Structure 1
Amino acid sequence: MSVSPGQPVPDFTAQATNDTTVTLSELRGRQVVIYFYPKDHTPGCTTEGGDFRDHKADFDAANTVILGVSRDGLRAHENFKAKQGFNFELIADKDESLCRLFDVIKLKKLYGKEHLGIERSTFLIDTEGRLAREWRKVKVPGHVADVLDAARELHAQS
């Protein structure tokens, strides 16, 4: 089962960096960007996270929380966050429960070999907990600007 735009996102609780636990229902009243990325410390994921970091004040102004998610563990996340100066939390989804909820585990090819991995995807959840927008098969350049535009537009409507 995965979530479609316009539907409520089922509540979830997940372990995140900075010794925090993220519960979606506790974020009601704020918009939430959840972006899924394949792996800590890789070039595309570092660039994407850096773009979100550099625009955090703009997301804050649009009443929007940023959360990054991958299957890496908390220790890897803490190192990645510290090294890149990320100013938002990263969720460790080792059991892939969030990945399955948002249907981002896909068959991928790398060097001619197939494997299951995270398809780079971003989701914007409105203040009521409904999925407002989704971006799948994300290409990093310009992506964060698109998400920010959508977050601002949604915020202006609320």
Structure 2
Amino acid sequence: MTLAIGQSAPSFTATATGGTTVTLSELKGRQVVLFFYPKASTPGCTTEGGDFRDRMSDFEAANTVVLGVSRDGIRAQENFKAKQAFNFELISDKDETVCRLFDVIKLKKLYGKEHMGIERSTFLIDAEGKLAREWRGVKVPGHADEVLEAAQALYAAG
């Protein structure tokens, strides 16, 4: 499935931290940032999550929910969230359902070996449930600021 800006974001229901289940359609009326990261508790993912954590009050002021997504199991996600004091939920997508809906599973190379994994990507969904922005092949430094600016601009325009 190809995602296009302005198109409705694919609906999903997934298990998340805090004993919650996230259903995207139930978040209508609020903007949603979905950031996909390769693996819990790794350096880049820890930095990225921390950058979103440190800007949560600004995201909330822009009526924006932040959710992290990876293929880690729920226990790994709970540990990651607790250890980093994340103030947003993390979705456990072990079967890659959400990852595939957003087309973030890509062929990657690590130490000369190829494997399928999550391409670090972020999606901003507007209050109507439509895809407003996407970032693929994300580099962590400055990324959360860029997403926040886009969320604030979208909210101000709404």
Q: TM-score range by the shorter chain?
A: over 0.9
Structure 2 distance, partners of 1:77, 1:13, is 17
Name the amino acid aligned to 2:9. Answer: V
Question: Which blocks of at least 5 consecutive residues in structure 1 are unaligned?
Answer: none
How many angstroms does 1:58 deviate by?
0.3
CA deviation after TM superposition for structure 1 residue 9, in Å: 1.0
TM-score (normalizing by structure 2): 0.99
Please tell me whether the aligned partners of residues 70 and 93 of structure 1 are also in contact (alpha carbons under 8 angstroms).
yes
Distance in 2, Cα, partners of 1:105 & 1:12: 17
Instruction: Map 1:1-158 onto structure 2 (within 5 A).
Output: 1-158=1-158
Secondary structure of 1:11 counterpart: coil
Give the Cα–Cα distance (whole angstroms) in 2 for the partners of residues 96 and 88 of structure 1: 20
- Cα deviation per residue 1:37-69 (whole Å; 9 max; x = unaligned)? 000010000000000000000000000000000
SS of the aligned residue for 1:78 comes to: helix
For residues 2 and 9 of structure 1, the distance between their equivalents in structure 2, rounded to whole angstroms, comes to 10
After superposition, the CA RMSD in angstroms is 0.5
The count of residues paired between Structure 1 and Structure 2 equals 158
Partner SS, residue 41 of structure 2: coil
> 1:2 Cα shift?
3.2
Asked if structure 2 preserves the Cα contact closer than 8 Å seen for 1:34 and 1:68, the reply is: yes
Q: Distance in 2 between matches of 1:4 and 1:137?
A: 17
Q: Which contiguous aligned blocks of 4+ residues in structure 1 show a shift greater than 6 angstroms?
A: none
Q: Distance in 2 between matches of 1:25 and 1:104?
A: 20
